[in-house]
Structures are given as C-alpha cells and as structure tokens.
Amino acid sequence: MAAAGAPLPRALSAELRWDPPLAAGLAPPRQETRARASWPLPRQEIVFSRGRLISTNFNSRSLLCPPCHCAQVALADAKIAYQADPDKHAGVLAYELVQGNLVQWNSFMDKSIPDPPTAVLLHGILGSGKNWGSFAKRLAQEFPMWQFLLVDLRCHGDSASIKKRGPHTVASTAFDVLKLIGQLRLSPRVLVGHSFGGKVALSMVDQAAKPLARPVRVWVLDATPGKVRSGLDGEDHPAELIDFLRRMPVQVNSKQEVVDALVKAKFSVDVARWVATNLRRSSPSGSRSSPSYSWIFNLNGISEMYKSYEDTNLWRIVENVPRGVHINFLKAERSLHRWALEDLQRIHTAEEVAADEAGGVEMHVLEDAGHWVHADNPDGLFRILSSTFRIETSLRGRE
C-alpha cells in the first residue's frame, strides 16, 4: 500500500496502495473492530499483541463464541482483544470490522437489539482489506450506526495463509465471502467491490438470496460485468505482472531488488514500488544472517483468479436484476479499462428494464480519478457512496 504522498500507479487493473489517510487530518472513529473469525462483535475496538488477550478493564466479563465457545472478553466502553481458535475456524477468511460509535452490542444471544446495518468492502487483485481502512473509518464517522466489514479475499493478505481449494475463481471467492458473513450472522445491506471485487459482489448476488438482505445495494467500482478490456500498449498489464512475479525467487534479499527487476522488465517505477510493498521480512529481525523477504500473497492462486476475472460474464445479473437488488456501476474518468460503448449502452438499457422490475441499475462517473478510485479521488467517491448509506439509514429508520 503506497507511502503517503507517493504517486499511485495508473495503469494496472488491480488494486493495492500504501494506504495514506484518505482525508487529511481525519481522526479515526472511536470504535474500530479487528477480528479473524468471529461473530457480530460489541461496540469496542480489538487490539492484538502476539495473539494474547489484553485487557485494561478489570470489570470485563467473559463470554463464549457459539458454537465453538472460543474465549472472548466484552468490555464496557473499552477495548477488547480477541482471536478465534484457528483450528476451530479453519478456512474462514481474515477480516476487519470497523464500527461506528453508535453501533450497539448484539449477538444471537440477545435479539432485543436489532442487527446494525452492515456494508462489505471488497478489494481487487493483489490487494487486501487494508486498502479500504482509511475510507471505512471515514464512513464510520459519517454514519456512526453502520459497521463495515473489510475482507482479505482468498490468496490475498492474511487470508493467503488459509488453505483454500481450487478452482480460484470469481465464483469461489464470492462463496468464501458469503460463508464468512453467514458465520458472522450478518445480513449486509451494501456490497462495495473494486475491480475484481466488483465482480465478486455481483457473483454474491447471483449465488445466494441469503445471507444477503433485501433490499441490497451493490457498488461495482471501475469494472464491467463481462469482458475485461485492458489498457493500451505500453501500459502495465496485470496478467504480465503476475506472470513475471511468479518467475521471481520465492525469497529475495531486499525490496529494492524486486523494484530493480521490475523496472528492468519495463514495468513502471510506480508499479514496481507498489508491488514491493507486498514483501514481508522472513528472516528474524536482529538476526546475524542477511535479511530476506517473501511475498505475502499466493501468486499461483492469484493468477487463476485474474484469469477468472477476465473470463467471468455476469451480464445476466445486470440485465435481469433480482427484485430488491440495486446495482450501481462507477466508471473512473481516467480508467485504465477501456469501457466499450457497447458496455455503456447495455448498462443504460438495463437501467430502464430494472426500473420496471422493482430492481435498479445506475451508472455513475467519478471525475478526476484513475482506476484506484478510493485513492485518486476519495472525496468524490465518498460523496457518491454517501447517498447509499443515507437512503439505507432512512429506510431502516422506518422499519
């Protein structure tokens, strides 16, 4: 994720950045939740310290996480630390849960408190849930009754260490996320997916009526439902980048070694530096041996996922929108994707059909932004997405 102030690559159909604050001077919300595999969590913030449970509140009370009875501590107006038993939660995706400060404690042990409205934020190829961290905090401040689930998709981020059976496709990735929100007992009202994540969101709607709520609003950010049209010649192409990375050694001596190799192979300096942020030191700090670094993602799986992204066609969902589903497409003004005229025409035609079928399809354009919409123009994206959360908050208030 890109260092603050560093330029972001504009010519790669993937999404990963150094995660600079998306709003200068914006303080994080009071409540933010981090977890690995849990269920709806209380209005607190989770903190990790090498997997140990930490509490500074002597009045905390113990709870159990059904059905596996993992230890959990709930604190009143304080922070909690919690990590589920990895053996009992095998295969569950890694995630973060960012909660607004008006989100109340809720679990299926206490149904007197309604479920908080939830949005799921999905990253693109070679990204991670952390790509959405600053943006999710901003949303949580503006909409304090909401919570935002940031998922590390299979083969990416902290989920890369979780063994997933192939094939690694858009559909299997969508199923992973559906399984996660089912285990968390959540019914998301909003799905937001960038690039590859956009097709994952559409596939989630395609695969299951539950645990998705109705109505559900889907945002597909700078991706079309069908054919992926990469940028022009001379631009960095993701398939070529992934293939090059797969041919590199599993371990390297330095991040600069990777940057130099990519630049020599004619990839842009920005993309080379961006890719190097996916390296994690594998030799212990302070070791007498020379430092070594390894990738934090599963490149073989990611290669399959990108091929599926190119091949997957989900136009049927757009042109026959299920009742209660509203699909929003957002095109970046300077997108590296070539949005074909036929794609735009099909989306506009679907808008008219969906309006007659109690569903919805809309097309939006984000000005002054390339493919990395939430980094290039976070203010513009925030304004556009905010309408969805205001509408859903208003509808929920009338339930």
Which CATH number do you get for residue 343? Answer: 3.40.50.1820
Within 10 angstroms of residue 369's Cβ, the number of other Cβ atoms is 24
**Which residues have C-beta within 8 Å of that of residue 91, sequence separation ≥ 6?**
162, 163, 164
Whether 99 contacts 33, CB under 8 Å: yes
Is 10 among the domain residues?
no
Indicate if 345 and 324 belong to the same structural domain.
Answer: yes
Q: How far apart are the first and last CA of the chain?
A: 40
pLDDT at position 2 is: 39
Listed residue (300, 234, 221) closest to 267, CA to CA:
234
Indicate if 218 and 346 belong to the same structural domain.
Answer: yes
Indicate if 200 and 293 belong to the same structural domain.
Answer: no
Indicate if 251 and 368 belong to the same structural domain.
Answer: no
Cα 24 vs. chain centroid, distance in angstroms?
22
Whether 292 contacts 284, CB under 8 Å: no
Within 10 angstroms of residue 334's Cβ, the number of other Cβ atoms is 14
> How far is CA 63 from each of CA 40, 66, 73, 291, 381, rounded to the nearest angstrom?
13, 9, 6, 42, 39
Identify each DSSP E strand in 66-215 by its residue range.
70-74, 79-80, 95-99, 118-122, 147-151, 190-194
Indicate if 122 and 52 belong to the same structural domain.
Answer: yes
Q: For residue 281, give its domain range.
A: 238-306
Residue type, 309: Y
Question: What are the residues facing 219 on neighbouring strands?
Answer: 192, 328
> How far is CA 206 from each of CA 24, 25, 198, 210, 359, rounded to the nearest angstrom?
38, 40, 13, 11, 14
The residue among 282, 306, 330 that closes a domain is 306
The residue among 306, 326, 351 that closes a domain is 306
- Residue 188, CB-side half-sphere exposure with 13 Å CA sphere: 29
How far is residue 102's CA from residue 143's CA, in Å, rounded to a whole number? 9
pLDDT at position 357 is: 57
pLDDT at position 114 is: 74
pLDDT at position 70 is: 33
Tokens coding 397: 């208030």
Is 381 among the domain residues?
yes
How far is residue 378's CA from residue 23's CA, in Å, rounded to a whole number? 8
pLDDT tens across the length of the chain (399 residues): 433 333 433 333 333 333 333 232 333 333 333 343 333 333 333 332 222 222 222 232 333 333 333 323 232 222 222 333 434 445 689 999 999 999 976 544 566 677 789 999 999 998 889 889 999 999 999 999 999 999 999 999 999 989 888 899 999 999 999 999 999 989 999 999 999 999 999 999 999 877 787 889 999 999 999 988 766 555 567 888 899 999 998 889 999 999 999 999 988 787 788 788 788 888 666 666 678 999 888 999 999 999 999 999 999 999 998 888 999 999 998 876 678 889 999 999 999 888 765 579 999 999 988 888 888 899 999 999 998 998 877 666 555
Indicate if 393 and 285 belong to the same structural domain.
Answer: no
Count of domains observed in the chain: 2
Within 10 angstroms of residue 285's Cβ, the number of other Cβ atoms is 6
Indicate if 367 and 271 belong to the same structural domain.
Answer: no
Contacts 24+ apart (CB under 8 A), 386-393: 386/142, 386/143, 388/190, 388/217, 388/219, 388/328, 389/119, 389/139, 389/142, 389/143, 389/146, 389/190, 390/143, 391/217, 392/117, 392/189, 392/190, 392/217, 393/117, 393/143, 393/145, 393/146
Indicate if 166 and 295 belong to the same structural domain.
Answer: no
Indicate if 151 and 117 belong to the same structural domain.
Answer: yes
Indicate if 208 and 342 belong to the same structural domain.
Answer: yes
Indicate if 257 and 221 belong to the same structural domain.
Answer: no
Q: Output Rg (C-alpha) for the chain, integer angstroms.
A: 21
Within 10 angstroms of residue 114's Cβ, the number of other Cβ atoms is 10
pLDDT at position 14 is: 34
